[in-house]
Amino acid sequence: MTSAEKQKIACFLDIAGDYLGSGYKSACNEYQFDDDTENSPQITQSNADSIEIIAQEIKACGNCSLCQTRINAVPGEGVMQPVVMVIGEGPGEDEDKQGRPFVGKAGQLLDKMLSAIGLSRSENAFIANVVKCRPPKNRDPYPEETAACSQFLKRQISILKPQFILAAGRVSAQTLLKTTEPIGRLRGRFTELIVEDNIYPLLATYHPAALLRSEEYKRPAWEDLKLLRSKIGI
């Protein structure tokens, strides 16, 4: 705002004050205003960003071929500033139909797993995926597909600022950590994930779908959850 614009506003307020007080108009006072500079606070795209804005962009996204086969994009859901942000691989059939993350059998198991250590998507967790649209036949997402969604996920993490990140499954852990190490070597310990100069403790574990397929993964997955619980103190 320029100094002249500020003077006009001040003069109007003076006049209004005169009428409300004595009922007579006096001369406008002259004030010493400066023009706003480039350093004045402004709303920028970065600080105007929000989870809702990102969700709308995801639903309208056409950056990769997955948009051609999806029913619904799945931005994610949960609370702001969560204790834990759970990041899975991508939506499955049920998620694609409902537009919500982890709502099928694997999702129901995930909810039980989180509940066992005091976490819930409705109270203190946020759940999302590496890719926001279902890969056909639940195949692994291609590199170009994870790349197309990477900025969405980075923005979500930056806004939510979770205390911890739980990477559910091989694809999620490998994508976030930019590694080809198998999930068996990545799980069971915390790793630092850096997003926009912020450091987030990340714990990788087996995907709930893997637990439904094989009993052998249940015990190590529970050990991972107990490790997470010991850190978050719930």
Mean local confidence (pLDDT), 125-143:
97
- Pair 222, 187: CB distance under 8 Å: no
Element (H, E) at 125: strand 125-129
Q: Phi, psi at residue 164, to the nearest 5°?
A: -140, 155
Residue 31 vs residues 5, 8, 219: alpha-carbon distances, Å? 12, 10, 73
pLDDT number for residue 55: 98
**What confidence score (pLDDT) does residue 37 get?**
47
What is the C-alpha to C-alpha distance for residues 93 and 111, in angstroms, rounded to an integer?
18
pLDDT at 160 exceeding the cut of 60: yes
Q: Are 164 and 200 in contact (CB under 8 A)?
A: yes
- Whether the per-residue pLDDT at 13 is higher than 50: the answer is yes
Measured between alpha carbons, how far is 173 from 197 in angstroms, rounded to an integer?
19
Instruction: Answer yes or no: is pLDDT of 173 > 80.
Output: yes
Backbone angles phi, psi at 31, to 5 degrees: -110, 155
Please tell me the pTM assigned to this model. 0.80
pLDDT value for 33: 55
How high is the mean pLDDT of the chain?
88
Q: Which tens digits make up the pLDDT trace of 179-220? A: 999 999 999 999 999 999 999 999 999 999 999 999 999 999
Q: Helix, strand, coil shares of the chain as percentages rounded to 5?
A: 45, 15, 40
Map residue 99 onto helix, strand or coil: coil
- Indicate the domain borders of the chain: 1-33, 49-232
* DSSP string for residues in 133-150: SPPGGGPPPPHHHHHHHH
pLDDT tens for 110-131 read 999 999 999 999 999 999 999 9
* 203 CB neighbour count, 10 Å cutoff: 22
Q: How confident is the model at residue 233 (pLDDT cuts 50, 70, 90)?
A: confident
Phi-psi region of 199 (alpha: psi -120 to 50; beta: other; left: phi over 0): beta
CA distance 182 to 170: 7
Please tell me the distance from the alpha carbon of residue 219 to that of residue 217, in angstroms, as a whole number: 6
Does residue 144 surpass a pLDDT of 50? yes
Contacts of 230 (CB under 8 A, 6+ apart): none
Class of domain 49-232: alpha beta
User: Is pLDDT above 60 for 166?
Assistant: yes
Per residue in 42-100, pLDDT (tens digit) is: 323 344 699 999 999 999 999 999 999 999 999 999 999 999 999 999 999 999 999 99
